[in-house]
Amino acid sequence: MGAAPSSPLASLVIDLDTLEEGAQELAVELPQAWVAHALSETDAVVPAGGAARLEFTLQADRTLLVRGHIDLRYEVPCARCLEPATVDVGAESDELCVTYVPADRLRSWADFPGAKTDGAEDKEIEPLDSAELDEIGYHGSKVDLRALISEQIVLAYPMRALCARGEACLGLCMRCGFNLNESGDSAPEACPSCGARLDGADALGPSAEDSTPDSPWKRALAKVVDPQD
């Protein structure tokens, strides 16, 4: 995705050597340009930035517990009418709760072969995959939370979103693409733009302009029925 735009997010790189034990709070602004970069491979539109409100707890064994909430909204196309639909990242991702541990400790858990199981013909338990552990490893004395925040923003992107109309959204005409929400009728029977029936009854039939006895549509259909003509 290229280099990310510069942003005042240095405070999301936590230096454990300067962090006191116990709970500490941090509020960080998420600039619009940085959020847009995180979503650059999607069709989301980011009208404004947001904020991350976090709480750190450093334990004596260098384990870092991170809790918090992301206050951010962006827009994606409505699945029916393609108008903007709002995505609330905080509502989608709920509260953050992530544990960071030194990478060597995480690796030792993943590589531990386990004990032999009873009656399993000396087969050993498969080592744990580090991805299966509910922890994230870090190297050195610093923990960079920017990747975590960026990941949460992208994960909030919905499989399907509706505009502010919700289930009342009428969507687009399948024939001409007219936005049926602009028809002025809560339940139109036909598209006011092209006249197509919205129940699909005429989906396979000719349009109004092809209803003449010798229309191009009927001539094409005749060739399909009788290819010798």
pLDDT of residue 19: 85
pLDDT of residue 105: 79
Assess contact for 161 and 76: CB atoms under 8 A: yes
Digitized pLDDT (tens) for each residue of the chain, 229 residues in all = 444 444 468 899 999 998 887 789 999 999 999 999 999 999 999 999 999 999 999 988 889 999 999 999 999 999 999 999 999 998 877 688 899 999 887 765 545 455 444 554 544 544 444 444 468 889 999 999 999 999 999 999 999 999 999 999 999 998 888 999 998 777 788 888 888 888 766 654 454 444 445 545 455 545 554 555 4
Q: Which amino acid is located at 166 in the chain?
A: G
pLDDT of residue 133: 44
Q: Which residues pair with 14 in a beta bridge?
A: 143
Domain ranges of the chain: 10-155, 170-229
pLDDT of residue 134: 66
Output the CA–CA distances (angstroms, integers) from residue 74 to 14, 153, 171, 221, in the order listed. Answer: 27, 9, 21, 48
pLDDT of residue 121: 52
Structure tokens at 143: 């923990």
Q: Say what the pTM is.
A: 0.70
SS3 call for 11:
helix
Q: Give the count of beta carbons closer than 10 Å to the beta carbon of residue 53.
A: 15
Q: Are strands 136-138 and 96-102 parallel, antiparallel or unpaired?
A: parallel
The candidate with the shortest Cα–Cα distance to 130, out of 100, 90, 96, 158, is 100
Name the DSSP letter for residue 111: H
